[in-house]
């Protein structure tokens, strides 16, 4: 138990030593070479020639200047100036003097534990620095004009790879799979003749497994070394499947005659992606489109695909648009996961140029 007057709290500082100047009464007070300004003369202890001075009559203060009642002379000594600070006024803490224990802010049901205020022009901003404090990232409030007032509550866990943050509509965040979003897996660019473009699981960073619900390959600027089109094949760990079990329904629109050409149940040892009559001899023309592949990791469902592409026919005026779908009804494919996709020329012998990009799509 403590009996007596409650201790008072102040910002106690001892001023730097001051050298007396003969015939001078006014002196500047500093702490660590920085000017300091006591609240009043009554908030100080001043010793001159070993005698405590009376505030107000022996000296006065104005800002950081102390003025003695009479000029000091050579031989006088200002022993110390001790600034007591204002009662219950801690003053301005020195850099790095506030410990973690002193910044244990407490939130209540009606107030945040810490506020980062704006200055009337700039919105409140919290910066998180790197270990060397040479740079950092900032969290910034919405502008005043938004009249925003809400709370974001962080998730209970750190989520899984490729997940995104979502809200329940009330600011409560959680991690979820990117619904239907495309994940870039791999891009292959052809600049000289190749016999095929292959995407094989586990090769060159390629992923074709149960990670994704279905896969998309987008291709653009595809040209060939001779008149032909683009075809494709699927495969298992045993290799690409060339059996004549690719059943495809497709419709081809040729612009020069405004006529639809319908091909149904076309069976061959690959699936057709573009019109076979595409010509490479006309400069600037190419095949462009995409194919979607379903059930790739299934061992009980046939592999299905949907595609569309635009190319050109036998003349520069003959634009060819093809859309279709198909299925690989092969017993080997049915009983095993398909982990590879191949694109190869139809009629021509090589793919001369073009870009092929594989994406995965989650639920």
Overall residue count recorded for the chain in this entry: 363
Q: What is the pLDDT along the chain (363 residues), one digit of tens a residue?
A: 556 555 555 578 999 999 999 999 999 999 999 999 998 999 999 999 999 999 999 999 999 999 999 999 999 999 999 998 765 555 567 777 778 777 888 888 888 888 888 888 999 999 999 999 999 999 999 999 999 999 999 999 988 877 788 888 888 998 876 666 788 999 999 999 999 999 999 999 899 999 899 999 999 999 988 887 889 999 999 999 987 788 888 887 776 656 666 665 555 778 888 866 555 556 778 889 999 999 999 999 999 999 999 887 555 566 778 888 999 988 888 889 999 999 999 877 899 999 999 999 977
Lookup: tokens for 297: 């990791």
Pairing status of strand 59-62 against strand 51-52: unpaired
Interatomic CA distance for residues 220 and 356, integer angstroms: 7
- Which CATH architecture best describes the domain 182-361? Sandwich (2.60)
C-alpha 308: how far from chain center:
33
Pairing status of strand 30-31 against strand 136-140: unpaired
Q: What is the DSSP letter of 102?
A: G
Three-class DSSP category at 4:
coil
- Kindly give, in sequence order, each residue whose CB lies less than 8 Å from that of residue 301, ignoring residues fewer than 6 positions away: 295, 334
Q: Where are the domains of the chain?
A: 13-83, 182-361
């Amino acid at each position: 138990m403590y009996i007596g007057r409650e201790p008072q709290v102040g910002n106690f500082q001892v001023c730097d030593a001051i050298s007396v100047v003969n015939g001078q009464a006014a002196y500047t007070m500093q702490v660590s070479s920085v000017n300091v300004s006591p609240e009043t003369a009554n908030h100080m202890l001043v010793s001159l020639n070993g005698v405590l001075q009376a505030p107000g009559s022996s000296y006065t203060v104005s800002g950081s200047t102390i003025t003695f009642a009479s000029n000091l002379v050579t031989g006088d000594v200002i022993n110390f100036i001790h600034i007591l600070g204002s009662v219950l006024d801690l003053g301005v803490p020195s850099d790095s003097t506030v410990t973690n224990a002193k910044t244990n802010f407490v939130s209540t049901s009606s107030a945040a534990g810490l506020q980062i205020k704006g200055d009337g022009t700039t919105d409140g901003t919290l910066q998180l620095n790197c270990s060397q404090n040479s740079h950092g990232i900032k969290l910034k409030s919405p502008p005043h004009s938004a009249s925003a007032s809400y709370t974001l509550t962080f998730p209970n866990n750190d989520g899984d790879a490729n997940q995104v943050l979502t809200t329940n509509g009330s600011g409560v965040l959680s991690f979820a799979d990117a619904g239907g979003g495309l994940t870039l897996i791999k891009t292959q660019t052809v600049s000289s003749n190749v016999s095929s473009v292959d995407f094989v699981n586990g090769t060159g960073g390629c992923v074709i497994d149960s990670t994704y619900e279905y896969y998309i390959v987008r291709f653009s600027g595809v040209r060939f070394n001779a008149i032909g089109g683009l075809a494709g094949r699927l495969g298992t760990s045993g290799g690409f499947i060339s059996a004549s079990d690719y059943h495809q329904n497709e419709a081809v629109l040729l612009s020069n005659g405004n006529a639809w050409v319908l091909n149904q149940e076309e069976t061959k040892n690959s699936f057709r992606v573009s019109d076979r009559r595409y010509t490479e001899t006309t400069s600037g023309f190419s095949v462009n489109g995409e194919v979607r592949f379903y059930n790739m990791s299934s061992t009980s469902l046939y592999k299905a695909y949907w595609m569309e592409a635009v190319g050109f026919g036998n003349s520069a005026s003959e634009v060819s648009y093809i859309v279709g779908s198909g299925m690989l009804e092969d017993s080997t494919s049915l009983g095993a996961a398909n982990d590879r996709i191949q694109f190869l020329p139809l009629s021509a012998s090589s793919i001369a140029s073009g870009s092929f990009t594989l994406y995965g799509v989650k639920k």
